[in-house]
A and B are shown apart, each in its own frame.
Chain A
Amino acid sequence: MHVTTDFGIWISALLTLGIFSFLYKDNPAYKLCEHLFVGVSAGYYVVLNYFSVVRPNLLDPLVQGDGHGGRDFFLLVPLVLGILLFSRFFPKGDWLSRWSIALILGVYPALRITGFGQGDFVEQIHGTMLPLWVAGNPGATIGNWILVVGLLTTLIFFFFSKEHKGALGGAARVGVYFLMVSFGASYGYTVMARISLLIGRVMFLLHDWLGVLHL
């Protein structure tokens, strides 16, 4: 056992234990850690964004130029639009922020819609056009059938223009089973994710802090 003398690791370990203490019951130590986390995170991201976004992308090109003497005065436009966003704090002038929001709403949906159209919609339809008979490969044949049947029945489940009765109702019910398998898989992965995070913290406590675990 080799307990660290690193002050930062001690702080980190005590904060981790403080958060874990919530598992027993809510307590002042947990509250302190929670508030510290919120405050430090907010401060950290403000400073980080200033030095990694505002300064290199806006202030430096405006004040110092591009290194060849040229200053990009077009950047005054995003600067003004950015400042206008803060007008939401003042009820009388909050309408000014709508111009900035309009720009954001105009650009982002366009980017995301084109990305979704190309990356998801077209490619995924293409990805489901599979041969239902793969010679010499029964595994692939069965897999392709499951995929196509699962896709069609799940789509039928979300088809609400006609009452789910008869063949349509039967297909929709099969679709529900496919959805349940999908939810189960997602839940299994979620459990794995949470346990992984716990393992990560336990490794930190045992290795970095207490020195009883050798990796």
Chain B
Amino acid sequence: MSIFASLAKLDRRWIFLAIGLLVVVPLLTGFHIAPVRPGSRAQGFYDAIEKVPAGATVLLAGDYDPGTIAENYPMHLAAVRHLMSRNVKIVAVELYPGGPPLADRVLHLVGEEFHKREGYDYVNLGFKSGNEAVMSQMGSSIPITFPADRSGKPVGRIPVMKGIENFSQIALLVSISAGYPGTKEWVQQVVSRYHVPMVAGVTAVSAPEYYPYLQAGQLQGLLGGMAGAAEYEVLVKAPGLATRGMDAQSLAHIFIALMILLGNLAALPQRAPAGRK
């Protein structure tokens, strides 16, 4: 039996085991392949936040839930760290029902790190059902759309919300998104209508969908998956979860590329006779 014929009959569980080891071993040993180099998309994300003046207000949409923590949480954390380090005020909203606890965790964690006060420097307005309708209504009035913050405190009594009426007072929209509703809808409903500058951190599986927005200038920057988050962590000089996972990611990618190549080579002898027929 040739090597390719035996490969074709390989039990897939060996591949699962190999992937598992390729992920676990680099994490445990600290095995390092190459440094993370930021690309132009992550640089665009970074530059857009750098352009926001201190004291301005940013709308932070955390539209993801625990299912995509591995990808979205590191970029969420890094973005809030970057914003708070620049003394930018944050108004957080979530259009995923599972999003508010994650946004709270990020805001409180980084808020303590930078000695920021809830209500004065940042606020989490929480979840609102309605997808595009919520975005559209925020264009008319953010306080009417979100009359209270996540703890039930009326927005009229929250200092950071003072003067915030609609998107005219928002310097930048930062979307951390796992799918629908998320980055695509924010672009369609807000960027196009109200011309708010926007950056996005998205899951890798959805990233190709947003490249046209980046190319057309509707997005100023884009973080795609864990790799995008790692690039951004390097830019903000705070290597974290994403940077730590990149070596495991790279090894798994090399292995999968090798498996695709070998799989195709193994399938070649089976295809050739069929082609001749």
Contact = CB atoms under 8 A, between A and B. Distances in A.
Interface of A: 23-24, 45, 48-49, 52-53, 56-57, 67, 107-108, 111-112, 115-116, 118-120, 122-124, 126-127, 147, 182, 185-186, 189-203, 206, 212-213, 215
Interface residues of B, number: 57
Given A118-B193, A119-B192, A199-B23, A193 B71 contact: yes
Contact of B71 (A49, A116, A196, A213): A196
Nearest to B24: A202
Contacts of B274: none
B185 A115 contact: yes
B138 interface: no
Chain A contact residues, majority secondary structure: helix
Interface in B141-175: 147-148, 152, 154
A124 B240 CA distance: 35
Contact of B148 (A24, A56, A123, A196): A56
B203 interface: yes
Contacts of B256: 191, 195
B53 interface: no
B133 interface: yes
Interface stretch (B83-91, B215-223, B263-271): B215-223
A53 B240 CA distance: 34
B227 A203 contact: no
Contacts, number: 142
The 7 A-B pairs with the shortest beta carbon distances in the complex, nearest first, are A200-B70, A127-B216, A119-B188, A115-B188, A193-B204, A118-B192, A193-B205
Interface of B: 13, 16, 19-20, 23-24, 27-28, 68-71, 97-98, 100, 126-129, 132-133, 136, 147-148, 152, 154, 184-185, 187-189, 191-193, 203-205, 207-208, 212, 215-218, 224-227, 240-241, 244-245, 248-249, 252-253, 256
Contact of B97 (A49, A115, A196): A49
Contacts of A200: 69-71, 241, 245
A202 B188 contact: no
B223 to A, nearest CB: 12
Nearest to B246: A199
A206 B26 CA distance: 12
